[in-house]
Structure 1
Amino acid sequence: MTQNDTPIAPQNDTSTPPARGSNGHPEPRGGASAVHPALAEPPRAAADREGRLDTVVFGVAAAVALAFVAWGFLSPSGLGSASGSALTWVEENLGWLFVTLASGFVLFVLWLAASRYGRIPLGGDDEAPEFRTVSWIAMMFSAGMGIGLMFFGVSEPLTHYVSPPPRTVDAETPEAISTAMATTLFHWTLHPWAIYAVVGLAIAYGTFRRGRPQLISAAFAPLFGRRRTEGPAGKLIDVLAIFATLFGSAASLGLGALQIGSGVEILGWAGDVGNGLLVAIIAVLTCAFVASAVSGVAKGIQWLSNVNMVLAAVLAAFVFVVGPTVLILNLVPGAIGAYFSDLAEMAGRTEASGGDPMAEWLRGWTVFYWAWWISWTPFVGLFLARISRGRTIRQFVTGVLLVPSVVSLVWFAVFGGAGIAAQRDGADVAGQSTSEGQLFGVLNTYPLATVMTVLVMLLVAIFFVSGADAASIVMGSLSERGALEPTRRTVIFWGVVMGAVAAIMLLVGGDEALTGLQNLTIIAALPFALVMVGLAVSLAKDLRSDPMVLRRTVAVEAVEQAVVHGIRHHGDDFVLSVKAAPDPAGDGGPDAGSPVRAVERERSNGAAGTAEVGSPVPGERRT
């Protein structure tokens, strides 16, 4: 058989070509105007629609959120007691659910990227990415966990070093360093970003590939049908997504306020930082991020994210150079090895594996983190979808999983290594009164401590603004039937409510403000964890009927059958051509020329399907 660059060549077909529609594709016989599903392009006008306020979703979510705000301001102790009781029940009975789902989502997105679905674009077949890769990574990282990295960068590795997880290693030993880094990476790398990726993929694919509204509920259309997703069940899903976004983002803002307040206290700009100052900090920054949010994604978030990326790199470079450089360099490969070595053990930790000490540790760390990431998924997932148009599923998963994980690895090696080194040298950084003060405790051992403290506060403030900026736009989008650019009044409303909820979560926590943030976050995340399971199932079902998947299926089966037929009847010397398949029914119906039907007929009667097989004609190219 002769090889050449064109494996399937046209034959001299004198039959009348089929009529072609406005998109250039042949119209089916019988006058049908529908484009074959294997050639369909996303209806982009539907994806780019202007939003209209969904009075049911917005009304219910706003009423309950305002009731929560009123309850928190009028009786913070009552809200704290109720949330504590609810949290205890969730952690004791459903902690296993968070642990299982987190690892399951990692396996799911890795399978999507490695499978045949990885080539599918989040948009049209030839659509280019909307944002440059550098800006895409910066926005993704800044909105995803910027404040958390600032808050826990020193605190978490240092805490696991001086107090390792139960039944692991002795405290403050070389082994404790490996365990501390492995545990920190477990909480901050593949697992959280896989959780984000599930929602981001489901929304981006449905919006930019299928032309659906940018709504969590719309992603359930393959599972329940469009009519049901637009009914009460779909509205309930969107309300739950708004609540998860509201509480998850408010918790992040609360962490930012705590760290800024700690910096203000260390610099001597104020006395003991109380709730009054924290609420004032939240109020000022809320005004800032509302102003940024109404400027739009391309102007506000992109500019802030790029600035913050540079400032964070400057801070990390300073600590790397001035701090324990050799220890940091050793931590990077050591942390990677320890992470993969301990991954199975860390993923399998439950209350049953360690009794009451393990149960208490999980509630304060792993279960809280998984619930926190899940509560962030409507916000981060929708935001990732918003900025990822034009990228393939494989590019999306690779970028979302690997890039932030590598950055987190370097970040925790630099700041965690600095904290551990300072602790070993007798600085007792772990003895700081608060977790948020440990970063400042490390910086205080270096030159230019005041300058670096101000830089940290500036970084946290910008992370605060950019993260809340994205969250308020996402909640506005959910309130306006999936609009990509929600109206300013809706964005401003949710921005103000988010700031109020963050203040209340701090008030509920009292002296242990971090506890109040954690409690309400875990409770809010529980219902959305179940929504995420449905999203994963719906996305897998949706991808099976993607036009690119159908084309590949048709091409492989049709060409394979034609080649078998050609070899059987013509030996090694034959040609393939594509032409309309005969209509066995003789009615010229809409399925007469369908390549899917042709393959089915080939299976039944041995015809060549859509590929014509015959002896070569002079002048033709052979295969």
Structure 2
Amino acid sequence: MSQNSQTTRELLDDLKSAMPRRRKKKAENGTDWVVFGSAGALALGFILWGVISSSSLGRVAESALGAVMTNFSWVFVIAATVFTLFVLVVAFSRFGRIPLGRDGEQPQFRTASWISMMFATGMGIGLIFNGVAEPLYFYMSPPPGTVEGSTPEALTTAMGTALFHWTLYPWAMYAIVGLGMAYGTFRLGRSQLFSNMFASIFGEKVSRSAGGRVINILAILATLFGSACSLGLGALQIGGGLRSSGIISGSGSAVLILIIAVLTAAFVASAVSGIERGIQWLSNINMVLAVILAIIMFIGGPTLFILNVIPNAVGGFVADLPQMASRTSVSGDESLAEWMSTYTVFYWAWWVSWSPFVGLFIGRISRGRTIRQFVVGVLLVPSVISLLWFSIFGGGAIGLQERAEKAQDQGAMLARLVDGVPDINSDLILFQTLEKLPVGPVIAVILMIVTVILVAIFFVTGADSASIVMGGLSEHGAEDPSKRSVIFWGVATGAVAAIMLVAGGDDPKSALNGLQNITIVSSVPFVLVMLLLCVALWKDLSRDPLMIRNRLARHVLEDSVDSAIERHDGEPFELRTVEAVIEVAPADASRHESAPIADLAAEGAAPDAPQDADGEGRGSQI
């Protein structure tokens, strides 16, 4: 066999071996009791620890967090940039045309619903909680070693820093997990298990190995703790909104537990109803409410100031990106190290801890889209929405604060410096900003109530998707886990948040902070897992049937053209396909084998070209 024929045969064999991987494999049924039992026991252990000695839990978590920030902050800084560059390279390389499903398959959800579900699950409640607080805080107290607070330069730095924490980088982390899940499940036919994303490295049976089960257990725990923290923070903000609007006089532990119970019932009901009816319906409603609230804030706030903030924020983000992306604790004094642990490294660890559940859910709703469509949708669209949200709410709050500072109107100020630190309560600052709008007290109260509903629905859409993901991980990656599994994990999420609030006593935030610290500490191994996932995903994509066909086409075409030029001595020729006969190895020399695809033939003026029955020149077989 010639070298060219051998290369063609090797590519055809690769294509044959790749094609069956596209067919859906029969999934295992029922609960994986090793994964479910282990994750449930560990979750119960954390809950009991918090009930028995919340102070001990808090001390251990705080100590572990300090060790992580001191010894591994550089890992988070480097990994965050690697993840962002990786997904961009994958999207805009030859891999971008690969569909997350069968060739020609249409997207499962409409683009508007897809974006609504993705955004509500991945970041919606965080933007409500921090949309005003973070830009305003950075404006009054910029990162150490940058600019002076409450100045025009501080505005640029504040908006650029907020976008750095909330746009491209976190969504890149989600996109890596989402790509791994969607490609492995819908293109290769694997079950929806976190461990199955590493099959290209450890083999297709990785999910049944001890290491694979450990990965799935860690993914469940990260999802459970992350959702519980989000539920607790959401309850605190809803309580603050009800108090600000005058509906309740206080928001003690009893009120917060009642809020958690109502939210838990809502997201469990939504999760049981399924993605198509529950999450999609709530996400679409929430996006409408968010747009209405943003329009009112835009019109009622300092509109011209907000319009100027938008390009200013983009400029600050682009100009400061190299410095922000490379900034570590050794870039300045102890104040910078403390700031990094409070913000940038904290955020990177937090997004990593959320990536198992958000990434798996985003991948689950992305069937039928190409990789390029997926990355553009996951990376760029939410980033643009975050830009507009932070500009309207954060920029609007800064505009109101700047106006009050210039007028020296203490009553109109949203925050004041206390010992050089802005006195900002994240639970209340959004509602305080709405109170300052010139829309009248009645409209302001209505806006607060709408915001409370918005927070509640944002959490419900995130928590019900988390329940579905945890249920699937407990049942061998089932695409539609059983209702009892979804209900169990949904109730467990509410129970974890409620018990930690009770364990916190008069200061419920302390218990949530302890649980949050544990979640961040658990993200350290996930950083390494996600870096390994980049390698596994690249290997899978390189062996995709579409990529092999492209390599085969280039090889056959280039070889045919080179041979035709040589055979026809530079004379004009044309290429067409004929069935090629390729000799097999010498041991089987008594037989010939036809290639499963056509080889190329060149047709030209060569005098020795074989003739068809009608006398036409058939051309030289290449």
Structure-1 residue corresponding to 2:413? 428
Structure-1 residue corresponding to 2:243? 265
Once superposed, what is the RMSD of the aligned Cα atoms?
2.4
Q: Where does 1:528-547 land on structure 2 (aligned, <5 Å)?
A: 528-547=526-545
Q: What is the CA–CA distance in structure 2 between the aligned matches of 1:533 and 1:41, rounded to whole Å?
A: 24
Structure-2 residue corresponding to 1:180? 158
Report the number of matched residues: 579
Q: What is the CA–CA distance in structure 2 between the aligned matches of 1:620 and 1:257, rounded to whole Å?
A: 80
Structure-1 residue corresponding to 2:386? 408
Q: What is the CA–CA distance in structure 1 between the aligned matches of 2:476 and 2:103, rounded to whole Å?
A: 26
Structure-2 residue corresponding to 1:199? 177
Please, which of 583, 601, 604 is the counterpart of residue 612 of structure 1?
601
Q: What is the CA–CA distance in structure 1 between the aligned matches of 2:314 and 2:146, rounded to whole Å?
A: 18
Please report how far the alpha carbon of residue 368 of structure 1 lies from its aligned counterpart in structure 2 after TM superposition.
1.3
Q: What is the CA–CA distance in structure 1 between the aligned matches of 2:259 and 2:185, rounded to whole Å?
A: 37
Q: What is the CA–CA distance in structure 2 between the aligned matches of 1:529 and 1:437, rounded to whole Å?
A: 33
Q: Are 1:440 and 2:435 counterparts? A: no
Letter in 1 for 2:434: L
Seq. identity, %: 53
Please report how far the alpha carbon of residue 98 of structure 1 lies from its aligned counterpart in structure 2 after TM superposition.
1.2
- Structure 2 gaps of 5+ residues are 1-8, 405-411, 417-422, 606-610
Q: What is the CA–CA distance in structure 2 between the aligned matches of 1:335 and 1:619, rounded to whole Å?
A: 69
Letter in 2 for 1:475: M
Please report how far the alpha carbon of residue 72 of structure 1 lies from its aligned counterpart in structure 2 after TM superposition.
1.4
Q: Are 1:105 and 2:83 counterparts? A: yes
Structure 1 residues 523-532 or 382-391, which shifts more? Answer: 523-532
8 Å CA contact 1:129–1:390 kept in 2: the answer is yes
Q: What is the CA–CA distance in structure 1 between the aligned matches of 2:28 and 2:545, rounded to whole Å?
A: 26
Structure-2 residue corresponding to 1:489? 484
Please report how far the alpha carbon of residue 269 of structure 1 lies from its aligned counterpart in structure 2 after TM superposition.
2.6
Structure-2 residue corresponding to 1:501? 496
> Alpha carbons of 1:50 and 1:301: their partners in 2 closer, same or farther (altered >3 Å)?
farther
User: SS of the counterpart of 2:576?
Assistant: strand
Please report how far the alpha carbon of residue 518 of structure 1 lies from its aligned counterpart in structure 2 after TM superposition.
3.8
Please, which of 497, 500, 522 is the counterpart of residue 524 of structure 1?
522
> Alpha carbons of 1:315 and 1:33: their partners in 2 closer, same or farther (altered >3 Å)?
same
User: SS of the counterpart of 2:369?
Assistant: coil
Letter in 2 for 1:576: R
8 Å CA contact 1:351–1:358 kept in 2: the answer is yes
Q: What is the CA–CA distance in structure 2 between the aligned matches of 1:467 and 1:592, rounded to whole Å?
A: 56
Please report how far the alpha carbon of residue 38 of structure 1 lies from its aligned counterpart in structure 2 after TM superposition.
5.8
Letter in 1 for 2:493: M
Structure-2 residue corresponding to 1:397? 375
8 Å CA contact 2:229–2:515 kept in 1: the answer is yes
Please report how far the alpha carbon of residue 50 of structure 1 lies from its aligned counterpart in structure 2 after TM superposition.
6.8
Structure-1 residue corresponding to 2:565? 567
User: SS of the counterpart of 1:613?
Assistant: strand
8 Å CA contact 1:41–1:124 kept in 2: the answer is no
> Alpha carbons of 1:275 and 1:620: their partners in 2 closer, same or farther (altered >3 Å)?
farther
Q: What is the CA–CA distance in structure 1 between the aligned matches of 2:273 and 2:471, rounded to whole Å?
A: 14
Q: Are 1:580 and 2:580 counterparts? A: yes
Q: Where does 1:42-441 land on structure 2 (aligned, <5 Å)?
A: 42-44=22-24, 46=26, 49=27, 51-426=29-404, 427-431=412-416, 434-441=425-432
Q: What per-residue deviation string (whole Å, max 9, x for no partner) do you get for residues 339-377 of structure 1?
A: 010001001111100121011111111111111111111
8 Å CA contact 2:602–2:619 kept in 1: the answer is no
Please report how far the alpha carbon of residue 503 of structure 1 lies from its aligned counterpart in structure 2 after TM superposition.
2.9
Letter in 1 for 2:415: A
Letter in 2 for 1:542: D
> Alpha carbons of 1:361 and 1:115: their partners in 2 closer, same or farther (altered >3 Å)?
same
8 Å CA contact 2:15–2:545 kept in 1: the answer is no
Q: What is the CA–CA distance in structure 1 between the aligned matches of 2:338 and 2:482, rounded to whole Å?
A: 44
Please report how far the alpha carbon of residue 612 of structure 1 lies from its aligned counterpart in structure 2 after TM superposition.
3.0
Q: Are 1:455 and 2:450 counterparts? A: yes
Please report how far the alpha carbon of residue 100 of structure 1 lies from its aligned counterpart in structure 2 after TM superposition.
1.2
Q: What per-residue deviation string (whole Å, max 9, x for no partner) do you get for residues 220-241 of structure 1?
A: 1100112344210100000011
Q: What is the CA–CA distance in structure 1 between the aligned matches of 2:567 and 2:390, rounded to whole Å?
A: 66
Structure-2 residue corresponding to 1:549? 547
8 Å CA contact 2:582–2:592 kept in 1: the answer is no
Could you state the TM-score of these two structures normalised by the residue count of structure 1? 0.89
Q: What per-residue deviation string (whole Å, max 9, x for no partner) do you get for residues 167-221 of structure 1?
A: 0000000000000000000000000000000000011100011100101101111
Please report how far the alpha carbon of residue 69 of structure 1 lies from its aligned counterpart in structure 2 after TM superposition.
1.3
Please report how far the alpha carbon of residue 433 of structure 1 lies from its aligned counterpart in structure 2 after TM superposition.
5.6
User: SS of the counterpart of 1:130?
Assistant: coil
Q: What per-residue deviation string (whole Å, max 9, x for no partner) do you get for residues 421-443 of structure 1?
A: 12123222134662121101110
Structure 1 residues 33-42 or 282-291, which shifts more? Answer: 33-42
Structure-2 residue corresponding to 1:23? none
Q: What is the CA–CA distance in structure 2 between the aligned matches of 1:575 and 1:416, rounded to whole Å?
A: 62
Q: What is the CA–CA distance in structure 1 between the aligned matches of 2:538 and 2:582, rounded to whole Å?
A: 34
Q: What is the CA–CA distance in structure 2 between the aligned matches of 1:589 and 1:524, rounded to whole Å?
A: 62
User: SS of the counterpart of 1:430?
Assistant: coil
Structure 1 residues 153-162 or 72-81, which shifts more? Answer: 72-81
Q: What per-residue deviation string (whole Å, max 9, x for no partner) do you get for residues 535-560 of structure 1?
A: 11100111111000000000001110
Q: What is the CA–CA distance in structure 2 between the aligned matches of 1:516 and 1:201, rounded to whole Å?
A: 31
Please report how far the alpha carbon of residue 506 of structure 1 lies from its aligned counterpart in structure 2 after TM superposition.
4.2
Please report how far the alpha carbon of residue 42 of structure 1 lies from its aligned counterpart in structure 2 after TM superposition.
1.5
Please report how far the alpha carbon of residue 59 of structure 1 lies from its aligned counterpart in structure 2 after TM superposition.
0.5
Structure-1 residue corresponding to 2:407? none
8 Å CA contact 1:217–1:230 kept in 2: the answer is no
Q: What is the CA–CA distance in structure 2 between the aligned matches of 1:261 and 1:233, rounded to whole Å?
A: 42
Q: What is the CA–CA distance in structure 2 between the aligned matches of 1:449 and 1:121, rounded to whole Å?
A: 47
- Structure 1 gaps of 5+ residues are 1-27, 599-608
Q: What is the CA–CA distance in structure 1 between the aligned matches of 2:599 and 2:207, rounded to whole Å?
A: 38
8 Å CA contact 2:165–2:344 kept in 1: the answer is yes
Q: Are 1:479 and 2:479 counterparts? A: no
Letter in 2 for 1:360: E
User: SS of the counterpart of 2:573?
Assistant: coil
Please report how far the alpha carbon of residue 45 of structure 1 lies from its aligned counterpart in structure 2 after TM superposition.
5.3
Q: What is the CA–CA distance in structure 2 between the aligned matches of 1:508 and 1:524, rounded to whole Å?
A: 21
Please report how far the alpha carbon of residue 565 of structure 1 lies from its aligned counterpart in structure 2 after TM superposition.
0.4
Structure-2 residue corresponding to 1:14? none
Structure 1 residues 205-214 or 585-594, which shifts more? Answer: 585-594
> Alpha carbons of 1:50 and 1:338: their partners in 2 closer, same or farther (altered >3 Å)?
same
Q: What is the CA–CA distance in structure 2 between the aligned matches of 1:490 and 1:376, rounded to whole Å?
A: 20
> Alpha carbons of 1:328 and 1:67: their partners in 2 closer, same or farther (altered >3 Å)?
same
Q: What is the CA–CA distance in structure 1 between the aligned matches of 2:589 and 2:83, rounded to whole Å?
A: 47
8 Å CA contact 1:218–1:230 kept in 2: the answer is no
Structure-2 residue corresponding to 1:17? none
Letter in 2 for 1:269: I
Q: What is the CA–CA distance in structure 2 between the aligned matches of 1:418 and 1:502, rounded to whole Å?
A: 32
Q: What per-residue deviation string (whole Å, max 9, x for no partner) do you get for residues 389-432 of structure 1?
A: 01111110011011000000000000001211121232221346
Letter in 1 for 2:252: G
> Alpha carbons of 1:472 and 1:39: their partners in 2 closer, same or farther (altered >3 Å)?
closer
Please report how far the alpha carbon of residue 512 of structure 1 lies from its aligned counterpart in structure 2 after TM superposition.
4.3
Structure 1 residues 404-413 or 87-96, which shifts more? Answer: 87-96
8 Å CA contact 2:227–2:463 kept in 1: the answer is yes
Letter in 2 for 1:422: L
Q: What is the CA–CA distance in structure 1 between the aligned matches of 2:133 and 2:151, rounded to whole Å?
A: 17
Letter in 2 for 1:280: L
Structure 1 residues 220-229 or 422-431, which shifts more? Answer: 422-431
User: SS of the counterpart of 1:472?
Assistant: helix
User: SS of the counterpart of 1:434?
Assistant: coil
Structure-2 residue corresponding to 1:21? none
Structure-1 residue corresponding to 2:16? 36
Please report how far the alpha carbon of residue 517 of structure 1 lies from its aligned counterpart in structure 2 after TM superposition.
5.3
Q: What is the CA–CA distance in structure 2 between the aligned matches of 1:369 and 1:507, rounded to whole Å?
A: 26
> Alpha carbons of 1:39 and 1:227: their partners in 2 closer, same or farther (altered >3 Å)?
closer
